[in-house]
């Protein structure tokens, strides 16, 4: 009779312990999945940022070479007389409003506020591996000196702005 009494007392304990272990394993599995998803997003953003940076570098090098060309289009060059303090600030360069009207040469000669929006977007300056075409601003600060600014975007939300001072030989 003692054996019969022991069996009836232990009937549901194993099931409850098994369900608790199953719940703990499920929680651990979900936490691991969330971590993997986060790592995938971080990796994707890094690649996107890298592509935008490479696209901007290619466009900047191409734009610098274009200033040496005989066929260089001055319609998109903003003449900035000394002092150079009227160059666009970092905040202005990051503002999307100043990049909205690319390829609109009618902005030339319409006042400083509008001329700050002068930019060119051409496949001539595009990285062959990029799908978005970068935008380029030229500011002439001397007879042979240019401040060239390039804005390139990745496939996602990445945006890179590079700037150089280029002196024509």
Burial class (CB in 10 A: 0-12, 13-18, 19+), 151: buried
Do residues 161 and 149 touch, judged by C-beta distance below 8 A? yes
- Return contacts of 28-35, CB within 8 angstroms, 24+ apart: none
Higher pLDDT, 135 or 76: 135
What's the pTM? 0.72
What is residue 2's predicted lDDT score, i.e. its pLDDT? 60
For residue range 133-167, what is the model confidence (pLDDT) as tens digits? 888 888 888 888 888 899 988 888 888 999 998 88
For 137, the enclosing helix (H) or strand (E) is strand 135-140
């Amino acid at each position: 009779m003692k054996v019969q009494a022991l069996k009836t007392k232990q009937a549901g304990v194993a099931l409850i312990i098994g369900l608790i272990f199953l719940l703990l394993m499920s929680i651990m599995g979900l936490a691991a999945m969330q971590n993997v998803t986060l790592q995938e997003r971080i990796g994707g953003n890094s690649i996107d940022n890298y592509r935008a940076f490479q696209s901007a570098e290619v466009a900047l090098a191409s734009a610098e070479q274009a200033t040496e060309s005989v066929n260089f289009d001055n319609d998109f060059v903003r003449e900035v007389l000394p002092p150079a303090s009227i160059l666009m600030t970092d905040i202005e360069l990051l503002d999307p409003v100043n990049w909205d009207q690319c390829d609109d040469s009618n902005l030339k000669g319409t006042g400083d506020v509008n001329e700050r929006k002068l930019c060119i977007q051409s496949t001539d300056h595009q990285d062959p591996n990029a799908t978005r075409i970068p935008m380029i601003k030229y500011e002439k600060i001397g007879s042979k000196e240019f401040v060239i600014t390039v804005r390139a975007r990745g496939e996602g939300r990445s945006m890179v702005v590079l700037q150089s001072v280029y002196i024509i030989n």
